[in-house]
Structure 1
Amino acid sequence: MKLDVDFSALDMAVKKMGAQSIKIEFTDEIIPIEPIDKQLDEGIEVNFQEIDFDTGLASYQGRQVLLYIKDHSYGNKIHSVIKDGSKGNRFHIAECQKLAEMRRAGRFERYVVTNRIDGVFSVSGMDTIVNQLVEGEAQLNVCQYCLESINYKKFASLPRGIARRDFVKIFNMADFFDTYSSFFKFMPSGIAEKSSNAYSDDWEVISKKIREQVNYQCQQCGLDLSFNKRLLHVHHVNGVKSDNSETNLRALCCDCHRKQPNHNHMFVPHEQTQQINHLRKEQGINFKENWRDVYDLADPGMHGVIDLLERYQVHLPAVGEEVQNQGGRVIAELELAWPLKKVGVAVDKEDAVQATKFGWKVYSMRHALSQIDDLVARVR
């Protein structure tokens, strides 16, 4: 609905007071928080069949989730789990061999799905000594099979044993959701609320000033966003949102911003990463000379795939390849691609479908990882 509001009287009052006139930029970019988002923060009990693994990641009604079994009645261990979450059920983040085994065995326990980002899980179990239900909270551990299945932060290359256990100890839920934010249209409500309340009241004015000073160019990749200003953010280098000193502020495109340390977690819709890819190609700054360049250009959710490709020593892929129809219209964008071989890896399912219609062999992240030998054979 379009709103027509007359601010002329307000403008006149501002001039009479001698106040400085400031131009405010409005954006129509709204990330809704629906009732289900709040419910997922608390946890929803579902049947295993209701959980979707299309991308390889666990999702529920289009939201990225974690799933776990809340009940810890077996072995009368609920008390020990509340004291030490590492003794409890592992939570799952992706399609893994453990879940596949349970599916083959016909074990379809009821799971709780959640996108809570603090790592705290509601648990319960019967105390068989006093025959009483005990409820509490615990810091459960992530399933190592899940981490390996998506090669999260190169987990698959870690030796089994101490190195992997140490990785599990430092696993950060918010970092995980942030990495794969392009795969989903909604972010966890905990991240949304934290992000919206973190900045100072005059942040819009300060941000605009910094972006103007650099002529709306990303200070990292050099992308000119003069005509796409909403894609240029201002990053707090030290992560402290109240520190607005100029030495602490850098203007970065949303893609470079999300890849910075201390960016305090942010949600970048896939449409924006695709637009960044298109503009980089248009402006001739999407060149790559080595695998480091591929990592820097590609969506972070593809880093697990890129790690395996690098280890197999295949040719460097194009990043953000636009597939065109006979009329020259772009009908799909592939995150990684080998155009001469007509092989690619897509984030979005519809992109994969459309590219396939034009003779491409397209893998999802899930299939690129699980069928890596086949992918490598096609692009060598």
Structure 2
Amino acid sequence: MRILAIDTSTAAASSAIMEDGRLLCEFTINDGRKHSEKMMNIINIALENSGMDISQIDAFACSIGPGSFTGLRLGAAAVKGLGQALNKPLIAVPTLEALAFNLFPYNGLICPMLDAQRKMVYSSLYKIEDNKLLKLEDYRAIDIDKLINRLMEYEEKIVVLGDGVPIFGQKMKDVLPNVVEASPATLYPRASSVAVLAEELYKEGKTINYNELELYYIRKSQAEVEYDKKEKVEILPMKKEDVKAVHDIECKSFTTPWSLESFEAEIYNNMARYLVAKINGEVVGYGGMWIILDEGHITNIAVHPDHRSKKIGDALVKDLISLARENDLKRMTLEVRTSNWPAINLYKKYGFKEAGVRKGYYQDTGEDALIMWLEL
């Protein structure tokens, strides 16, 4: 099975051909010319150097964004035209995932960042575990200063890569001693990474027709709404009318969610204390705690996917700690998946310390649970 992949999400244009897990050819050019001047050229170079005709390609792949609007549209138009003309399937690969995959099999934190203009970047956060690329934080368009503040929550080494690095890399390193830049060979998106991820998607049956290909833009206006808009978050005690919305967030956040009946029962549980986060009257997050003697056990904290990265989790943790102190508790405890680094770092930020591991605690995957304690 042969895949021709391209990436045109930045000023660099790249093409590659993969055959059954073997990279036959990759060509990347970053010479300042417009993509419209070199698009078909990079495809033809890959074909010629692989000794192939375009008709021998089984599927076409491209990165779908975020990134340069013009570059992404030109790349998509090219593979759409080839897919339609040759009646071949297409494979859509998120740009940030392909960029992060450049560093495979590095096992630390990976932060791809693409220039989004106006001191903003398109970014996410990844880690490679068990030969799989894990997305720790969702795609976002974010002001560079806000990204730096977000990364301050992590103690591990973070490798940054993408065309945002030449612009903001030094500024990040001046503030974050644990940040290092990727080498020039892996700094920009590469079609070979697009091809590898595309081959995995192909095996999973995740192909599309030419008329189904859609690009993923994170527009600047969305970024302003998501990260700059001043929305008042209220933290309030959970009431019976909140339970359905809380359960909906639970189902969107966990693979083995609590039942609706379980949350309804917590309303009448004298040991339970539940808080909800609301924006304009809408429940967007919740947190719960059981009071057992002089200890508070955090049961669950979750934020609706549409409202993450707004510090709502921080607000819930802080208010649960305040609630524990109001009830004269001596300490707090919780369990968290060992792979859930964002949550672990959030708890550490507010003083929780690692105290042990419960082996195979989570029944859905058999994953271990990290036990954390906070002395009040």
- The TM-score, its normalising length taken from structure 2, stands at 0.24
Structure with the higher fraction of residues in strand conformation: 2
- The TM-score, its normalising length taken from structure 1, stands at 0.24
